[in-house]
Structure 1
């Protein structure tokens, strides 16, 4: 007898065993699907309807028990038949564990072809019969629904009621109303009262009372709608605001449709009101976020442009390394700020990020309390720290194993003081001119943050002290935003 083929999934990490199962089960005439690992089996299950799973208990990475547990956790596969194959002696405890994981049977190795085929055939037929029963149930449900629909449409009154019910699902976000154009009577459902923040026991629905709840700037919308219906319009939609008795302003969208008599005269207007306040607020937040992202992107590009334009090097490779290092430092602090939704960054985290590329052992000592930095401050200090670490690794204390670096910071009266002290490295001489790193550090700290940057080129090692206000808000930069120092600012402090 012809029947619809079902899919049987064979899971084993040994190709020879998979081939043997295929040969044994080929006589069943079903679709055999192969998976050589537990993870591959999971991928197959997500893409294919499987009737029976034949799985080896002992597999690397993900064994049969673990695979069964993961399969059973998915609602789609809680009833899928699984048969375990075990090449080792299976104890009663192992069998119980397998049944707990969802196995329906065990097959020992060596496999007896007739037994394996019989077991697979039973569960394949069971799957086929179950699907057939589900199809019959679905057909029955479809017939019941069709018959129910016929009964629901038997009278015009029932149809009208169902239309109002389908348009106005309350839950506080939607309401329906009906206005008898001839008698002037109004009908509001529960959702309509909830949206307007009033109750049927204390609020009489009539044009003056409804108008009193509309935002003054949107009252003309009601008048316009009435005028449109008098001109022959049959449907109208508009957005408007309401002011609830407690003073809360809500945004709504209203849709109205007119019913006319044989002479095309309006006799009734019915409508739906939907509370869209959350959508409006989400749109405002999205617009604000878009403007914020645009601002930050422009600032980042401006800073990158300054880095590229003002970086100096004697050869191309050195120039590329310098530019990449500075841009990567900017990228790292952006990642930290993104993880905090641009609320700020910990100073210690910035230092750890800049330390990451170096294997320094015990050469560095850090000392200071937890300090939360505003985004603009974090970006500036991240670039400053990058320049200090880079210069120290090339020419200073971190360029030799004997060198030592102490980074300490403290906060007093919302003023952050960070000290960078090198010792034990090569002999230090005061540079004749300032490079891009020093100039950008000075420009950012002093011009952008209103702080101070002091350098003492001692023979035993550089001593740098940065003083940065933690709460300063410049006239040109909003809190949480960062403006890159301009070329002019860099040149002003270049000395």
Structure 2
């Protein structure tokens, strides 16, 4: 549905970041206003009505906290929503400071586009609906003053206006309510019933029934609101959870305002409820993603540490080349997994990434179906393939133009069987002892993946067969975890 655009102010001293925010927020269809400094932002605010301010915490001259403090000092902007973006680790003290300065939310860098859009959209919609309500209320007041003689007609128009207001509120996942403080009567609109998951036909709106729908840990919020109004408070806002009859928990933010009589006694309380469940869930997903990234990074570092510690070479240059090759292989598979949000990696993509540095033309033949590997399997198998390609390029079929390599794979009963067959290269002599690459390949495939690796050093070329379970049935090694047992196995492999 078409609606009037609102202005969103983006404040950052880095043009590249401003451009990124514009790209992310473009699809919201709002007016994006740019400011490259705190002072420029203040100039914009004095000339333009702004719904939401997205501001970087770290800026020269005026940082985000100082800018927020100056904005809040102006009466016009005391209710303007401000969201801080921080590229540094934000402490609890910094968050408290930000909220004291008027921030409504924090967004860490790197920014998740879906999360940023969702946060901006909520406050833009709230701003738009609030302005719509103000406009409708002004219209109602004008009509009542101008048409007191036409009581019946003005009453009908008031009812029509209320219906439009309810529709606008419901469209923004909002509901409105009214509480007669003297008689105790409640009035809910359709949006309010929808948020609480009840129907007007079966639910009687009264304090006892409403309290029964509140989450047990948030019941005190209602009592506190009542106490505040009794003490003379005219407006109150809080977040709370509701427990719908079907068992679903929803997060809401409620805003209430009191109406008083000539003796300053509260006679009526009216309010708006906004369903912010999706925002809360987005925040939970963001926190989960942050913990997952931390977990993956620690595992990758542990694996890299083992590579550095266990690699053996007779001279520094050979050692550096070996370590760089293995870490680059790990980096390549990490990139593939990142692009899939760590859901997994396709086997042929891993092989293509390892092939890329060699430019071997038609020397290699690949044959096999699409196989999606779990992150743990992909990481370990990528390092195993790297060792095979490295050894072949140094000593085997890929060391000469006449050499040929056939790689085939198949899956049966969740068991991946991969064959590596070299031919046409230098005459192969069975090694007197296994090198580190071969021993680490055996250890990683067998210990990490619970599979098997077999080598046949034929005179015409190496024949290797890897059998890898696609789903682990033992709890020896948790998915995505390079544990002490695996490191010990590689230590034994290194001799």
Fold similarity call, TM over 0.5: yes
SS of the residue aligned with 1:475? coil
Structure 1: segments with no counterpart, 5+ residues:
none
Tell which deviates more after alignment, 262-271 or 329-338: 262-271
User: Against the structure 1 CA distance between its residues 327 and 264, is the aligned structure 2 distance closer, same or farther, given a 3 Å change threshold?
Assistant: same
Contact 2:312-2:494 within 8 A present in 1 as well = no
Tell which deviates more after alignment, 41-50 or 385-394: 41-50
Deviation at 1:474, TM superposition (A): 5.2
Q: Supply the distance in 2 between the matched residues of 1:475 and 1:113 (Cα, whole angstroms).
A: 36
User: Against the structure 1 CA distance between its residues 347 and 245, is the aligned structure 2 distance closer, same or farther, given a 3 Å change threshold?
Assistant: same
SS of the residue aligned with 2:13? coil
Q: Supply the distance in 2 between the matched residues of 1:119 and 1:253 (Cα, whole angstroms).
A: 14
For residues 9-60 of structure 1, what are the alpha-carbon distances to aligned partners after superposition, in whole Å with 9 as ceiling and x for unaligned?
Answer: 9999999999999999999999999999999999999999999999999999
Q: What is the TM-score normalised by the length of structure 2?
A: 0.63
Equivalence for 1:300:
300
Q: Say yes or no: does 1:394 pair with 2:394.
A: yes
For residues 99-133 of structure 1, what are the alpha-carbon distances to aligned partners after superposition, in whole Å with 9 as ceiling and x for unaligned?
Answer: 99999999999999999999999999999999999
Q: Supply the distance in 2 between the matched residues of 1:341 and 1:205 (Cα, whole angstroms).
A: 46
Equivalence for 1:276:
276
Equivalence for 1:83:
83
- CA RMSD after TM alignment: 18.7
Q: Supply the distance in 2 between the matched residues of 1:301 and 1:88 (Cα, whole angstroms).
A: 21
Contact 1:10-1:55 within 8 A present in 2 as well = yes
Q: Supply the distance in 1 between the matched residues of 2:75 and 2:276 (Cα, whole angstroms).
A: 34
For residues 226-273 of structure 1, what are the alpha-carbon distances to aligned partners after superposition, in whole Å with 9 as ceiling and x for unaligned?
Answer: 233334444433322222233332111222233344544332222221
For residues 82-102 of structure 1, what are the alpha-carbon distances to aligned partners after superposition, in whole Å with 9 as ceiling and x for unaligned?
Answer: 999999999999999999999
Contact 1:196-1:242 within 8 A present in 2 as well = yes
User: Against the structure 1 CA distance between its residues 21 and 489, is the aligned structure 2 distance closer, same or farther, given a 3 Å change threshold?
Assistant: closer
User: Against the structure 1 CA distance between its residues 118 and 451, is the aligned structure 2 distance closer, same or farther, given a 3 Å change threshold?
Assistant: closer
User: Against the structure 1 CA distance between its residues 74 and 421, is the aligned structure 2 distance closer, same or farther, given a 3 Å change threshold?
Assistant: farther
Deviation at 1:323, TM superposition (A): 2.0
SS of the residue aligned with 2:317? helix
User: Against the structure 1 CA distance between its residues 404 and 42, is the aligned structure 2 distance closer, same or farther, given a 3 Å change threshold?
Assistant: farther
Q: Supply the distance in 1 between the matched residues of 2:352 and 2:494 (Cα, whole angstroms).
A: 29
Q: Say yes or no: does 1:23 pair with 2:23.
A: yes
Deviation at 1:74, TM superposition (A): 37
User: Against the structure 1 CA distance between its residues 205 and 411, is the aligned structure 2 distance closer, same or farther, given a 3 Å change threshold?
Assistant: same
Contact 2:166-2:189 within 8 A present in 1 as well = no
Tell which deviates more after alignment, 277-286 or 70-79: 70-79
Tell which deviates more after alignment, 182-191 or 387-396: 182-191
Tell which deviates more after alignment, 54-63 or 463-472: 54-63
Q: Supply the distance in 2 between the matched residues of 1:358 and 1:487 (Cα, whole angstroms).
A: 30
Q: Supply the distance in 1 between the matched residues of 2:220 and 2:376 (Cα, whole angstroms).
A: 46
Tell which deviates more after alignment, 286-295 or 60-69: 60-69
Q: Supply the distance in 2 between the matched residues of 1:432 and 1:334 (Cα, whole angstroms).
A: 35
Tell which deviates more after alignment, 227-236 or 100-109: 100-109
Contact 1:347-1:372 within 8 A present in 2 as well = yes
Contact 2:251-2:276 within 8 A present in 1 as well = yes
Tell which deviates more after alignment, 459-468 or 273-282: 459-468
User: Against the structure 1 CA distance between its residues 65 and 421, is the aligned structure 2 distance closer, same or farther, given a 3 Å change threshold?
Assistant: farther
Q: Supply the distance in 1 between the matched residues of 2:219 and 2:87 (Cα, whole angstroms).
A: 81
Tell which deviates more after alignment, 426-435 or 346-355: 426-435
User: Against the structure 1 CA distance between its residues 116 and 188, is the aligned structure 2 distance closer, same or farther, given a 3 Å change threshold?
Assistant: closer
Deviation at 1:286, TM superposition (A): 0.8
Q: What is the TM-score normalised by the length of structure 1?
A: 0.63
User: Against the structure 1 CA distance between its residues 243 and 264, is the aligned structure 2 distance closer, same or farther, given a 3 Å change threshold?
Assistant: same
Structure 2: segments with no counterpart, 5+ residues:
none
SS of the residue aligned with 2:416? strand
Q: Supply the distance in 1 between the matched residues of 2:278 and 2:26 (Cα, whole angstroms).
A: 59
SS of the residue aligned with 2:246? coil
Q: Supply the distance in 1 between the matched residues of 2:115 and 2:272 (Cα, whole angstroms).
A: 65
Aligned pair count reads: 495
Equivalence for 1:333:
333
Q: Supply the distance in 2 between the matched residues of 1:455 and 1:314 (Cα, whole angstroms).
A: 25
